[in-house]
A and B are shown apart, each in its own frame.
Chain A
Amino acid sequence: MQDVLFYIFAALTLVCGFLVVANPFSRNPVTSAMFLVLTILSMAGLFVLLGAFFLAAVQVLVYAGAVIVLFLFVIMLLDLQVEERQRYRLRNLLWGGAASLALLAALLEAVRGRLTLPAETGPPVEGDPGALGEALFTAHLLPFEVMSILLLVAMIGVILLSRKEAGR
């Protein structure tokens, strides 16, 4: 059952991911953003399969909820015209394809045999909110607090950047 679910979610993830980056039918950013939502949702499914329940929830909340909405807002804000040059350029396609295929070959080669992967040991860890919270607030308290400062700085930066400059 779990294997079947994995295949379903994996296929969904990859197909949607492909449609995000290289949709052959639409170059519209909105379409890409929609497929990115789907990718992230199916990946949350994979997370659940891996026992990372809390992360799956966070993934949906933060990415699908916040990030994608942000993307959509910006897309609408910029109000981009559909242009002729939205078509893919063959040169980019070739070079990008070659580069990513080479990278893929290297990664798969590593995964397939060169690395000694850990065998499954003991019972799978459950990434429920309690366990994760305990880890966060004990062992990783300092990075957690630093992260809050990072978010604050990002917030201030964004306000500064997106503010209309005085005098213009």
Chain B
Amino acid sequence: MSVGLEHYLAVSGILFCLGVLGVILRRNLLNLYMSLEVMLNAANLALVAFARYNGDLNGQVLVFFVITVAAAEVAVGLALIVALYRKCRTTWVDDLATMKH
């Protein structure tokens, strides 16, 4: 069986679920953040695969934009983590329950 779109999509889906697992499993904010990056990349992979099999370059353009936004997001997110660490001296999600009412 030759490799087709569904193979790429399966890889993308598995990778995405791995990211989800990481988000729920890891308790260090930095690790959690990396898991998020994994999920983003999984989505990118699906997009590129669709672009290839639809014969449409716009999918790749979108991935380009996603990468750019992801770079900005990582920068801002890490800055937030640094600021948070300065304030609370911790990067553990267990300690950060300010969202609790």
Contacts and interface: CB of A to CB of B under 8 A. Distances in A.
Interface string A50-88: 111011001100110011001100110110100101101
For this complex, into which size category does the number of interface residues on chain A fall?
35 or more
Given A59-B67, A71-B30, A127-B60, A21 B6 contact: no
A74 B82 contact: yes
A135 to B, nearest CB: 5
A61 to B, nearest CB: 9
Contact of B75 (A13, A70, A95): A70
Interface of A: 2-3, 6-7, 10, 13-14, 17-18, 20-22, 27, 29, 32-33, 36, 39-40, 43, 46-47, 50-52, 54-55, 58-59, 62-63, 66-67, 70-71, 74-75, 77-78, 80, 83, 85-86, 88-89, 92-93, 95-97, 99-101, 103-104, 107-108, 111-112, 117-125, 127, 131-132, 135-136, 139-140, 143, 147, 150-151, 153-155, 157-158, 161-162, 164
26 contacts: A17-B18, A21-B25, A22-B26, A32-B31, A46-B45, A50-B52, A52-B63, A58-B64, A62-B68, A71-B33, A78-B30, A80-B28, A83-B92, A93-B25, A104-B17, A107-B17, A111-B6, A111-B9, A118-B53, A122-B55, A127-B51, A127-B57, A150-B69, A154-B75, A158-B76, A162-B82
